């Protein structure tokens, strides 16, 4: 047997699942797609005493359009997100990002919410949740709460989730009509975790970039929103000089690690090249919207 | 809440009922409990694809699935694709195109390709290679596998 012994609970409802987590006394784990948890259990890096399988809880496999947001339930698999027409129509940048996530077989099982909970610094889903001002829906025996993604994701493989809590859904804010977008990623083999990736959203009003949002991964121990760089571009014309300047600022602000896959210098260069391309593409895709006269 | 349970599932059309430990992997259940050793085990962390089976019609890593999770499910393994002297379409295409050498990776490729042919557009070699990217082969260099899939995708319907 590869994993260490545990008690298995097939949760029938969210209430059942969080009761079982609470009963585990801090040592329970939710099993969603299993595409990150099972490898860790097979190697006994993780040894939960209670495993709470949420795969049979009804109605969690939905993508729904709420007011201004798309809600992805806890059993929405990567394949569903990649193929969903609401995602393709309302959040094309997410549709583009999903093409880079893992391989066909892994996409059949892995869940969006599971990836956000796993909080791998090189995963696309936490980064896209940050880009899209995501809100995390959380349930526990004590009730429900919501939390902005930027507070939820606190470090490499670390979130603000309590041991008796599970994530029931993630809400993603739908960008305004005409918002330009771009997603750029570099990995050594298709479907592998990326060395670096960047996603950009920007609106274009009266020839100027507005509401600029930039998220990156592969450059720190979590995915990041680059608020300083966003602010530096806000209100400026989308010229080559402006993009070069903010990319120089971005590169100066990064302190990536060297590891087996890439040196810090290489990662900084890569991040700059991807960001430069993404900023220009997002600007080109943005549709001009004139501000109403005051 | 149990660390052991009795499961009933359909494997290659036959109903099987067995008592299993909760921590038993589906890959080990198929190989050790049912004797279906066609499903291979390489890395046991989801990377190599050798253990790929179909779970309710879609490909899944059996090394990342617990047997207990498959209670009530329909499983297809490489043994269900065909037999000696009566190979299935995917197996025959591999044979015709020399899509294997040592054969260790082959069961996983055959099951992944079965999912691909049922569910995914495979109009270009790029799409075929992308869909194969989750399975590792140390022998063939992949070209003959791509050739086999291209022929299968053509036979499935016209290429646009
Ligand atoms: C070969 C391979 C390649 C991959 N490549 C990529 C890639 O390129 N990009 C990428 O982003 N990912 C990749 N992945 C990871 C994949 O996306 C996983 O699906 C994802 O990281 C976790 O989702 P899951 O549903 O499988 O979660 P699980 O493995 O079931 O769980 C992961 C963690 O999150 C917790 N958890 C899960 N769901 C919940 C919930 N609802 N509430 C509370 N806690 C929860 C679990 O307890 C566990 O700690 C790859 C995986 C493999 C095996
Ligand atoms: S043994 Fe399952 S993917 Fe390698
Ligand atoms: S044929 Fe030997 S690993 Fe693929």
Q: Whose CA is nearest to atom 14 of ligand 1?
A: A102
Largest pairwise CA distance in chain A:
70
Q: Tell me, using a 6 A CB cutoff, whether residue B5 lines ligand 3.
A: no
Residues A151 and A111 in one domain: yes
* Any domain includes A154: yes
Q: How close B86 comes to chain A (CA, Å)? A: 27
Distance CA A181, CA A214 (A): 10
Residues A203 and A108 in one domain: no
* Any domain includes A213: yes
Measured between its terminal Cα atoms, the distance across chain A in Å is: 70
CA atoms within 13 A on the CB side of A266: 8
Please state which architecture CATH assigns to domain B89-156: Orthogonal Bundle (1.10)
Record: contact B115-A4, CB cut-off 8 A: no
Evaluate if residue B140 carries a pLDDT over 70.
yes
Instruction: Write out pLDDT tens, residues A169-211.
Output: 999 999 999 999 999 999 887 777 889 999 999 999 999 999 9
Q: How close B158 comes to chain A (CA, Å)? A: 22
Residues A85 and A116 in one domain: yes
Residues A129 and A196 in one domain: no
Last residue in a domain, options A133, A151, A173: A173
Q: In tens digits, what is the pLDDT along chain A, a chain of 294 residues?
A: 699 999 999 999 999 999 999 999 999 999 999 999 999 999 999 999 999 999 999 999 999 999 899 999 999 999 999 999 999 999 999 999 999 999 999 999 999 999 999 999 999 999 999 999 999 999 999 999 999 999 999 999 999 999 999 999 999 999 999 999 999 999 887 777 889 999 999 999 999 999 999 999 988 888 999 999 999 999 999 999 999 999 999 999 888 888 877 888 999 999 999 999 999 999 999 998 766 555
Nearest to B133 among A5, A20, A103 (CB): A103
ipTM of the complex: 0.95
Cβ neighbour number for residue B45 with a 10 Å cutoff: 18
What are the tokens at A57? 């809880």
Residues A71 and A168 in one domain: yes
Q: Tell me, using a 6 A CB cutoff, whether residue B46 lines ligand 2.
A: yes
B50's CB contacts (< 8 A; 6+ apart) are B40, B41, B42, B43, B104, B105, B107, B108, B135, B136
**Quick one: three-class SS letters along chain A?**
CCCCCCEEEECCCHHHHHHHHHHCCCCEEEECCCCCHHHHHHCCCCCCCEEEECCCCCCCCCEEEECCEEEEECCCEHHHHHHCHHHHHHCHHHHHHHCCCCCHHHHHHCEHHHHHHHCCCCCHHHHHHHHCCCEEEEEECCEEEEEEHHHHEEECCEECCCCCCEEEEEEEECCCCCCEEEEEEECCCCCCCCCEEEEEEEEEECCEEEEEEEEEECCCCCCEECHHHHHHHCCCECCHHHHHHHHHHHHHHCCCCCCCCCCHHHHHHHHHHHHHHHHHHHHHHCCECCCCCC
* Any domain includes A2: no
Number of domain units in chain A: 3
The CATH code of the domain at B4-80 is: 3.10.20.30
Q: What is the CATH number of the domain that holds A153?
A: 3.30.465.10
Last residue in a domain, options A130, A153, A173: A173
SS3 B51: coil
For the residues B6-21, what does the mean pLDDT come to?
Answer: 98
Q: What is the CATH number of the domain that holds A265?
A: 3.30.390.50
* Any domain includes A58: no
* A-B Cβ pairs (cutoff 8 Å, strict): 102
Q: Tell me, using a 6 A CB cutoff, whether residue B51 lines ligand 2.
A: yes
Quote the percentage of chain B above a pLDDT of 90.
91
Residues A151 and A214 in one domain: no
Record: contact B1-A189, CB cut-off 8 A: no
Chain centroid offset of residue A266 CA: 24
Domain boundaries, chain B: 4-80, 89-156
What is the extent of the structural domain holding A49?
A: 7-53
Last residue in a domain, options A173, A196, A226: A173
Instruction: Write out pLDDT tens, residues B40-68.
Output: 999 999 999 999 999 999 999 999 999 99
Q: Which ligand minimizes its atom distance to the CA of B135?
A: 2
């Amino acid at each position: 047997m590869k994993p260490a012994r545990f008690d298995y609970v097939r949760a029938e409802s969210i209430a059942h699942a969080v009761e079982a987590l609470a009963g585990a006394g801090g040592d329970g784990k939710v099993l969603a797609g299993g595409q990150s948890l099972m490898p860790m259990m097979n190697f006994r890096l993780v040894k939960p005493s209670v495993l709470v399988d949420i795969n049979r809880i009804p109605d969690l496999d939905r993508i729904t359009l709420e007011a201004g947001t798309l809600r992805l339930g806890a059993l929405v698999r990567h394949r569903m997100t990649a193929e969903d027409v609401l995602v393709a129509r309302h959040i094309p940048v997410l549709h583009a990002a999903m093409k880079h996530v893992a391989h066909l077989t892994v996409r059949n099982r892995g869940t969006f919410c599971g990836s956000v909970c796993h909080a791998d610094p090189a995963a696309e889903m936490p980064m896209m949740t940050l880009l899209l001002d995501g809100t995390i829906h959380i349930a526990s025996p004590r009730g429900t709460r919501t939390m902005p993604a930027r507070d939820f994701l606190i470090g490499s493989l670390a979130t603000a989730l309590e041991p008796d809590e599970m994530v029931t859904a993630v809400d993603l804010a739908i960008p305004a009509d005409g918002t330009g977008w771009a997603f750029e990623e570099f990995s050594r083999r298709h479907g592998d975790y990326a060395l670096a990736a960047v996603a950009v959203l920007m609106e274009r009003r009266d020839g100027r970039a507005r509401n600029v949002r930039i998220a990156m991964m592969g450059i720190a121990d979590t995915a990041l929103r680059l608020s300083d760089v966003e602010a530096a571009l806000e209100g400026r014309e989308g010229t080559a000089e402006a993009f070069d300047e903010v990319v120089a600022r971005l590169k100066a602000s990064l302190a990536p690690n060297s590891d087996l896959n890439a040196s810090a210098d290489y990662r900084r260069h890569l991040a700059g090249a991807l960001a430069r391309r993404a900023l220009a593409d997002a600007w080109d895709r943005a549709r001009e919207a004139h501000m109403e006269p005051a | 809440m149990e660390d052991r349970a009795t499961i009933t599932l359909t494997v290659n059309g036959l109903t099987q009922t067995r008592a299993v430990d909760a921590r038993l992997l589906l890959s080990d259940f198929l190989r050790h409990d049912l004797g279906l050793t066609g499903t291979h085990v390489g890395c046991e962390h989801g990377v190599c694809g050798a253990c790929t089976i179909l779970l309710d019609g879609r490909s899944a890593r059996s090394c990342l699935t617990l047997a207990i999770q498959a209670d009530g499910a329909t499983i297809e393994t490489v043994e269900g694709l065909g037999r000696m002297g009566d190979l299935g379409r995917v197996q025959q295409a591999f044979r015709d195109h020399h899509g294997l050498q040592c054969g260790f990776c082959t069961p996983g490729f055959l099951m992944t390709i079965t999912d691909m042919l049922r569910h995914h557009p495979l109009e270009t070699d790029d799409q075929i290679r992308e869909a194969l990217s989750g399975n590792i082969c140390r022998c063939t260099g992949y070209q003959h596998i791509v050739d086999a899939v291209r022929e299968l995708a053509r036979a499935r319907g016209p290429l646009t």
